[in-house]
Amino acid sequence: MKKELFEPFLLFDQWLEEAVRTEPNDPNAMALASVGQNGMPSVRMVLLKSHDSNGFVFYTNEGSQKGQQLLAHPKAALCWHWKSLRRQVRTEGDIEKVSSEDADAYFATRPKASQIGAWASLQSEILPEGLEFERRIAHYTAKYALGPVPRPPHWSGFLLKPIKIEFWQDKPFRLHDRLVYYRSEDGWITQKLYP
């Protein structure tokens, strides 16, 4: 293992900037894997909303399946795949909720329709037949017709604090490049892996 003097976030920033220029849709889309009460893994796509040397932040309804799983078992994995660049980044780590101030600040930047949707959707619950969802949207649209829409108490953000980050780059003849960073008490340690 080799001790690196820099953090993997510098490489992640570079790769994400390139993806923003080349990916046709949602370069910040990432697969989020969590674990249910029965130990069964569950994966879905979410959007990266911010990141720094502490980790990666995304937002969701805490009552959703993923929200409940993350609160009950605060460990998760993320994966970005940028097909146009033939690259992938994977990370695993511990989950923490973001501060109420950070959640409020991000919620305030969302389009009003998305803010109303956060109130109206009982995410991951069974949707009855008929127009129940539309009625809920109409109710919250009327309730918050004037002024700012407050953040629902069940809607917040999560920070994945990585303990491992792997960068995968496609190479000819399946000689792919795999570089893994492991967090240690005094920095990041790297290893190259066979493809």
Per-residue pLDDT tens, the chain, 195 aa: give them.
555 546 899 999 999 999 999 999 999 999 999 999 899 999 999 999 999 999 999 999 999 999 999 999 999 999 999 999 999 999 999 999 999 999 999 999 999 999 999 999 999 999 988 899 999 999 999 999 999 999 999 999 999 999 999 999 999 888 899 999 999 988 899 999 999
Q: Say if 129 falls within a structural domain.
A: no
Instruction: Compute how many other C-beta atoms are within 10 angstroms of the C-beta atom of residue 64.
Output: 18
The domain that holds 179 is classified in CATH as 2.30.110.10
- 160-193 burial: b if 16+ Cβ within 10 Å, else e: bebeebbbbeeeeeeeeebbbbbbeeeebeeeee
The count of structural domains within the chain is 1
Q: Say if 79 falls within a structural domain.
A: yes
- CA-CA distance, 177 to 115, in Å (whole number)? 41
What is the pLDDT, as a whole number, of residue 1? 53
What is the pLDDT, as a whole number, of residue 7? 83
Q: Say if 140 falls within a structural domain.
A: no
- CA-CA distance, 186 to 3, in Å (whole number)? 9
Q: Say if 171 falls within a structural domain.
A: yes
Task: Give the domain extent around 98.
Answer: 2-107+152-193
- CA-CA distance, 175 to 135, in Å (whole number)? 55
Q: Say if 181 falls within a structural domain.
A: yes
Residues with catalytic roles: 174
Q: Say if 112 falls within a structural domain.
A: no
Q: Say if 163 falls within a structural domain.
A: yes
- Residues 175 and 80: beta-carbon distance below 8 Å: no
Give the pairing of strands 55-61 and 187-193.
unpaired
Q: Say if 34 falls within a structural domain.
A: yes
What is the pLDDT, as a whole number, of residue 130? 81
What is the pLDDT, as a whole number, of residue 186? 85
What is the pLDDT, as a whole number, of residue 5? 45
